[in-house]
Amino acid sequence: MIIIIMIIIIMIIIIIIIMIIIIIITIIITIITIIIIIIIIIIIIIVIGIVIIIIILIILIIIIIIIIIIITTTTIIIIIIIIIFIVIIITISSSSTTTTTIINTTTTTTTTTSIYIISIMIIIIIIIILI
């Protein structure tokens, strides 16, 4: 009788120990899974952040390229306009010189210088607008 009671007590103790071990193992497993889930979430956030940063960088590079293209085209257009102005001014000054040489030499110099001054002023204004 005592032996049976002892065996039952030992079995109960063994069952309790096994239950405690199982509980500890499940707690450890849940902690590990929670840690793994947190790590995965952090990795996903980092990857999303990197992707967003890359997208932003690509957008910035595209904007910079567009700005560079706009600046170069406008400068080319302005250079062409300046060249056209210079050609017009040269033709005007040469024509005025030929016509005014007949009349007076002093008037030619004054007209050409005034035309040159006007052309220089126009170029300066264009440069200021560019800047």
Instruction: State percent of the chain over pLDDT 70.
Output: 72
What is the predicted pLDDT for the residue at 67?
85
- Residue 17: CB atoms within 10 A of its CB come to 10
> pLDDT, tens digit, for every residue of 16-29?
888 889 889 999 99
- For the full predicted model, state whether its pTM sits above 0.75: no
Instruction: Give the C-alpha separation, 34 to 36, whole Å.
Output: 5
Residue 125 above 70 pLDDT?
A: yes
Residue 9: pLDDT band (50, 70, 90) is confident
What is the predicted pLDDT for the residue at 89?
66
Q: Where are the domains of the chain?
A: 13-130
